[in-house]
Amino acid sequence: MQNAIISIGIYTIVLALSQIFLKIGVSQIGGFKINSFADIVALVPAILSTPLLMLGIILMGGSFFFWMYILSWFKLSLVFPLTAMTYVFVAILASLFLGEKLLWINYLGIIFIAAGIGFLVYK
C-alpha cells in the first residue's frame, strides 16, 4: 500500500507540474483557435519553439508511461481514486506559480478532496 501511495504521489505531482508548464507555455503563444486541420499544422512551429510548453508535453507523456507502470503493479480500484490529489496539487501550484487566487471555497474543496483520499487509504 505504501508503494502505491508513493507512486501515485509522484505521478500526481508530475501530472500537476505538466499542467502548470502547459498553461505558461500556452500563455506565451497567446490565444488561438482551431477551426481546421490547417490551424493545427500552423500551431506546430509555435509549440515546438516554446520550451515550457514542450516541457509540459514531455512531462505529460512521461506521466502516461508512469501511469501504465502503476497499473501493472496495483489495483485500479485503489490507485485511480488517489489520482484526485492532482486537483489539489494543480490548485496549489497554480496559486504559487501563476498567481491565481484561491477563495475560501477552493480551500474547502481541497480539504474535502484530501479528506476523501485519507478515507481511501485508511486501514
Dmax (CA) of the chain: 53
Q: What is the pLDDT of residue 1?
A: 74
- Decide if pLDDT at 102 tops 90: yes
CA pair distance 114, 64, nearest whole angstrom: 23
- Decide if pLDDT at 123 tops 90: no
Q: What is the pLDDT of residue 121?
A: 82
Question: What is the tens place of the pLDDT at every residue in 56-97?
Answer: 999 999 999 999 999 999 999 889 999 999 999 999 999 999
Question: What is the tens place of the pLDDT at every residue in 14-55?
Answer: 999 999 999 999 999 887 888 999 988 988 999 999 999 999
Residue type, 108: L
20, burial (CB in 10 Å: exposed 0-12, middle 13-18, buried 19+): buried
CA pair distance 74, 82, nearest whole angstrom: 12
70, burial (CB in 10 Å: exposed 0-12, middle 13-18, buried 19+): buried
86, burial (CB in 10 Å: exposed 0-12, middle 13-18, buried 19+): buried
